[in-house]
Structure 1
Amino acid sequence: MAARALADTVLDTAIVPGPRRSDELRTVLLTGASGFLGAYLVHELVNRLGVRVWCVVRATGPVAAQRRVEAALRRHRLWSETTMRNVGAVPGDLTAPRLGLTAADYQRLAETTDAIVHNGARVNHAEPYERLRAANVTGTVEILRFACRSATIPVHFVSTTSVAARQDTPVREIVPGLPGNADGYVLGKWVAEVLMTQAAARGLPVLIHRPDRICGAAATGATGTDDAFWTIIRAIARLGVAPAIADVAISLVPADYVASAIAHTVGQHPRIGARAPVHHLVNHTSITLEAVLDRLRANGFPVEIVAPENFVVELSRAARTDMGMARALILSQMTGPGTSEWDDTTTRRALSGSGITCPPMTADLIDRHLDHLTEIGFLPNPAA
């Protein structure tokens, strides 16, 4: 797996940026718009920058693509007619040559796009690198090829802090060497970061954004249901038991902060340099798992603390008839790199004067997420 990943870090020599278009920002191309963070990015790009956003979406046609973006905005309480007037969608596929676009769409977008936010990826921490490679690595190469097609189009790449997580801290805002013991998803993101740095060295304006674990908006708690953390919380709520690891610190980054920070820097235009700058989008505050369990109890979910092995036994039984529990069981067996301290000096400098700051971890923030997840049926009704 590592050998193949290392081989993939060599960027095609034909990918070379052309002449720079004007710095006027009118149109942004966005991948991953139908996903969780993608919906927030659509909202922030349109409403913060006043640009038109074209979304490349897996769909059977333009109407279906537009509906997928609209559904994502509605799902996360972001939809408005005003926003949608500035959103367009085209069917595409990151795993395909030319991003799966028609020749006409590819040419039109290459000639009119002023910036790219590459957020699209296949997210699965249980799948091997080979199965994720087409979407997460080949797709990134195709984005870079597109960025150099007609002119030089700045690229904002959404990565993850997992690429650089280390026990020794603080973790600097640079692209590290090959991460050890990385799963296929993290390894693919690292390869993509290395490809971005090579494109930057050739003169393409590139900025790498590394958000930590993302939660819903600070005001609404409207989060995605695929996240590992909330999958485990759902399992705890349904089983009524939690493992005895209550002192674990939980640090989440609200999606509206991540999206607004990225949108702000899109408006700043990344500079051309020998290295691709990296921005850590992290929360310097945390809350313990015990405090999260207390909020579950306060919201009507009785939770008993049991030995970790007993929790796994209960989870294994439930996994026989519940796919969500099966996923929680897999996630419970995976170990992360541990807690890291993140240097975000470059990020804070870029956001200086913008008023954009990361909301702190509080009991209220957890409550808003529990309310939202119960409302949409992801968590069981406490009264039941």
Structure 2
Amino acid sequence: AARIDAVYHSGAAVNLVLPYEELSPATVEGTREVLRFATATGRAAVHHVSTVGVFAGPPADGGALSETAVTGPPEELRQGYTQSKWVAEQVVALAREQGVPVTVHRPARIAGHTVTGACQADDFLWRVVKGCVQAGAVPEGITAEADLVPVDYVARAIVAVAARPEALGGIHHQVNTRPVPLADVLDHVRDHGHPLVEKSLGDWVELIKADPDNAAYPLLSLFDPAGGGFVAVRFSDDDTRAHLAGTGVSCPPLDADLFRTYLDYFVRTGYLPAPH
């Protein structure tokens, strides 16, 4: 503790189906313990990596959510994961009020490396992609967007912003202001060589439901319109981009070449079958 100048805290229990009670020990109590450690040093700044998932939906005017927008409301957060991250942010806010130098970084959905394609696969988007490939079908009419940010951009952005003394204590988004519709992502998968037919959302859900081994099976409740369905939410990163000015760090576009890099990686690692 005596030697530490800064703590980058990105630890959390990440799961889209477990309840808050099972995720809170790691995500909330873990954050509390990190803050306790930081205060023991007497000087360490804490860079808390949260998520844009702490917002329950778009603002009333339908615009983009800024870095200073009010999060929640918590009762409208549908997942135990986002609930636990929201509570962790409240713990961080209390620490900031007590004088702890805490900065919050909120990435969107973190995707693979822009050069190697290396990417974690146990994620909502990639599970849906794999599930569609396994079923040979995609749902039509999905309005969700993929606000993907490459992992190397997120890492470089957090470190670059953290190096700016004037950014300490603020809230910073690492987002892609040009998100890609989920339908376009699935078109990239089709262009990669995976034959996918379109089915109505109801028929697609029934198709996945018939195969418990399908990668998308655990996520079917998220496709249920009765539960709210998908709500398109956009985020702004004006403060982050201001701090990144002159650093050469910027978020790359989510174009066909980048998706090909990711899909090639998934094929190489066996996560996806080789395209036809």
TM-score, structure 1 as length reference: 0.66
Give the structure 2 partner of residue 179 of structure 1.
74
Q: Which amino acid aligns with 2:198?
A: I
Shift of 1:296: 1.9
Gapped regions of structure 1 (runs ≥ 5): 1-109
Work out which of the residue numbers 188, 195, 200 in structure 2 matches 1:307.
200
1:159 and 1:211 in contact (8 A); partners too: yes
Give the structure 2 partner of residue 216 of structure 1.
112
Give the 3-state SS of the residue equivalent to 1:133 in structure 2.
helix
Distance (whole Å) between structure 2 residues aligned to residue 172 and residue 288 of structure 1: 21
Say whether 1:145 aligns with 2:39: no
Gapped regions of structure 2 (runs ≥ 5): none
Work out which of the residue numbers 240, 244, 247 in structure 1 matches 2:140.
244
Q: Which amino acid aligns with 2:235?
A: W
Q: Return the index of the structure with the highest Cα Rg.
A: 1
Give the structure 1 partner of residue 220 of structure 2.
329
Distance (whole Å) between structure 1 residues aligned to residue 199 and residue 229 of structure 2: 21
The structure with higher relative contact order (CA 8 Å, sep 6+) is 2
Deviations 1:190-226 (A, max 9, x none): 1111111111122211110011111111222211111
Say whether 1:290 aligns with 2:186: no
Deviations 1:225-269 (A, max 9, x none): 111000000011111101112554333111111110111123334
Distance (whole Å) between structure 2 residues aligned to residue 295 and residue 343 of structure 1: 26
Q: Which amino acid aligns with 1:191?
A: V
Taking the TM superposition and a 5 Å limit, the aligned residue runs for 1:322-361 are 322=213, 324-333=215-224, 335=228, 338-361=231-254
Give the 3-state SS of the residue equivalent to 1:224 in structure 2.
coil
RMSD, aligned α-carbons: 2.0
Say whether 1:117 aligns with 2:117: no
1:178 and 1:190 in contact (8 A); partners too: no
Shift of 1:311: 0.6
1:228 and 1:331 in contact (8 A); partners too: no
2:4 and 2:41 in contact (8 A); partners too: no
Give the structure 2 partner of residue 198 of structure 1.
94
265 and 248 in structure 1: CA distance in 2 versus 1, 3 angstrom threshold:
closer
Distance (whole Å) between structure 2 residues aligned to residue 173 and residue 336 of structure 1: 25
237 and 133 in structure 1: CA distance in 2 versus 1, 3 angstrom threshold:
same
348 and 228 in structure 1: CA distance in 2 versus 1, 3 angstrom threshold:
same
Deviations 1:42-65 (A, max 9, x none): xxxxxxxxxxxxxxxxxxxxxxxx
2:223 and 2:229 in contact (8 A); partners too: no
Work out which of the residue numbers 149, 154, 159 in structure 2 matches 1:263.
159
Aligned length: 269
Deviations 1:132-190 (A, max 9, x none): 11101111110000001131210000111010242222212135353342121111111
Distance (whole Å) between structure 2 residues aligned to residue 379 and residue 331 of structure 1: 22
1:261 and 1:351 in contact (8 A); partners too: yes
Give the 3-state SS of the residue equivalent to 2:211 in structure 1.
helix
Work out which of the residue numbers 147, 157, 170 in structure 1 matches 2:48.
157
336 and 205 in structure 1: CA distance in 2 versus 1, 3 angstrom threshold:
farther
Distance (whole Å) between structure 2 residues aligned to residue 348 and residue 188 of structure 1: 27
Shift of 1:271: 6.0
TM-score, structure 2 as length reference: 0.90
Q: Which amino acid aligns with 1:155?
A: V
Shift of 1:313: 1.2
Taking the TM superposition and a 5 Å limit, the aligned residue runs for 1:51-130 are 110-130=1-21
Distance (whole Å) between structure 2 residues aligned to residue 252 and residue 382 of structure 1: 23
